[in-house]
Amino acid sequence: MKIVCKSLDHFLTNLQQEKTTFKNLVFVFIDKTPKDVGNTVCRYQVVFHAAAIVIDETGAEYMLEMAEDCGIDYVDASQVFAGSEVASEKNDRLIAVCNTLGLTIRPGLIEE
């Protein structure tokens, strides 16, 4: 089974309510997809992903995952990295919760 959360808040709520995760791991990936690549402007859509295999109170396992759009980075003269800043804030928040729960964060995605 897989549960997909639409926000980090929902992911953290579910993560905190379950008993444990497989090997106490949470995987994180920040995806930067190029958009509208031109001669002088390049934009990157930034998406923050997190996933864990959660073990509930009955011992059953399921995948808990989330992906949240963080905005756009502009790689031009302005060098505005708003998307990366939002993704970094989400990552810091996830780290704080995982530290409280005794979970380790690793880079990557879980695929079925």
Q: What is the value of pTM for the model shown? A: 0.89
Structural element, H or E, at residue 91: helix 82-101
Cross-strand pairs, 32: 46
For 100, half-sphere exposure in the C-beta direction (CA atoms, 13 angstrom radius) is: 9
Strands 25-35 and 104-107: parallel
3, two tokens: 């549960």
3-class DSSP assignment, residue 11: helix
Residues of the chain where predicted confidence (pLDDT) is lower than 50: none
Residue 77: CB partners within 8 Å, gap ≥ 6? Answer: 40
**What per-residue confidence (pLDDT) applies to 57?**
82
Q: What is the pLDDT of residue 74?
A: 87
